[in-house]
A = this chain, B = another copy of it.
Amino acid sequence: MAQKIKLSTIGEALGVSTATVSLALRDSPLVAEATKEKIKAHARQMGYIYNRRAASLRTSKSGIIGVVVHDIMNPFYGEILKSIETELDRSRHTFLLSNHYDNVDKQRDFLDTLMQLGADGVIMSPAIGTPIEDIDLVLRNGLPVVLIARSIPKASLPVFRGDDSFGIGLATRHLISLGHKRIAMIGGTDDTSTGRDRYQGYLTAMKKAELAVKPEWRIPGPRTKQAGFEATGEFLALPDKPTAAVCWNDLVAIGLMNGIARAGLTPGTDISVTGYDDLEEAAIATPALTTVWNGQPEVGRRAARALLDRIDGVSDQSGTLELIRPELHIRQSTSPVKERA
């Protein structure tokens, strides 16, 4: 490259001070219209590129927002990310993305990088077991933090997520209303608030309907298609074989349906399956998946807005929990129970 064009390069070329150039390029009313025009034209023509690091050294605003999730390849987070992206684009912020894969150290490294870069704020779905000190350090360095999808115990932060126990209740009651009495719950673990909430929601719905629940009916596990697929064996071998399965999420449900089909049964007819999240994929699965919409676009949009408000000092750092209300979307993976009761 040729030599770098900076404010002073332009200033010298035009015989004005760098301050004037800086002001002009940012459209300050302090500079005469004619001067502005001349400066802007010259800057464009010389191929000037604004140096954000120099500016942010002075202003301590970097325009960078960090986003940390478990895994961007998980479409649930992908859909949230998409709405965050839309919202941040609008306000000309750039986002730095990282997966933590539920590794607290990796997450801490990334938070550290954000602080070093002088990020303006963080949106995160915290790794399982995130110590409160890690978050406190970030807050003490002046970065507002908002959480999505998961809460951190004892932390007083804004959280945006779906109402899990209500949502899983919708799915469970739907199966009950179709006459199912033996319903399993596949996937998820108890080490996140979401995990506990969903299991509780399922238990509550079963109890309300006065249905017995066997502990073996819960097959915990990761939240992936692979895991759902692999759980099939255990599920089909269950004593008092359940006629339906409430799955942790759509991925697990789709994996389970694939497994069921592979075993020669027909998912949706022989065994009813519900998902959770309502990913775009749910509608085109075979059979189309009955699932609970978990408000991904809402979560992303509102979390981004909340963070921007906090960055602008419009709002404070208090710990509000905003639960998005899930909706049941009934499709073909659930049907009335087959067996003669």
- How many chain A residues touch B (CB < 8 A): the figure is 51
**Nearest CB of B to A122, in Å:** 14
| Contact, CB under 8 Å: B99 / A284 | no
Given A1-B141, A72-B72, A73-B78, are A116 and B286 neighbors across the interface (CB < 8 Å)?
no
Contact B85 A78 (CB under 8 A): no
The answer to whether A62 has its CB under 8 Å from any CB of chain B is yes
Contact check: which of B49, B51, B118, B140 meets A51 at CB < 8 Å? B118
A142 pairs with B1, CB closer than 8 A: yes
Known: A99-B85, A258-B284. A52 touches B116 (CB 8 A): yes
Selected from B1, B94, B229, the residue in CB contact (under 8 A) with A284 is B229
Q: A1-B142, A229-B284 are in contact. List 16 more A-B contacts (CB 8 A).
A: A1-B140, A47-B137, A49-B112, A49-B115, A52-B116, A53-B53, A53-B57, A72-B73, A73-B78, A73-B81, A73-B82, A97-B97, A226-B284, A255-B284, A257-B286, A261-B286
Instruction: Give A27-53 as 1s and 0s: 1 = Cβ < 8 Å from B's Cβ atoms.
Output: 000000000000000000001011111
Q: Are B99 and A51 in contact (CB under 8 A)?
A: no
Interface residue? A23 (CB, 8 A) = no
Are A226 and B280 also in contact (CB < 8 A) when A51-B116, A99-B85 are?
yes
Identical copies in the complex: 2
Q: Whole-angstrom distance between the alpha carbons of A115 and B258 in the complex?
A: 46
State A53–B285 Cα separation when bound (angstroms). Answer: 47
Q: Indicate if A75 sits at the interface (CB-CB under 8 A).
A: yes
Whole-angstrom distance between the alpha carbons of A255 and B85 in the complex?
Answer: 27
Q: How far is the CA of A330 from the CA of B286 in the complex (A)?
A: 22
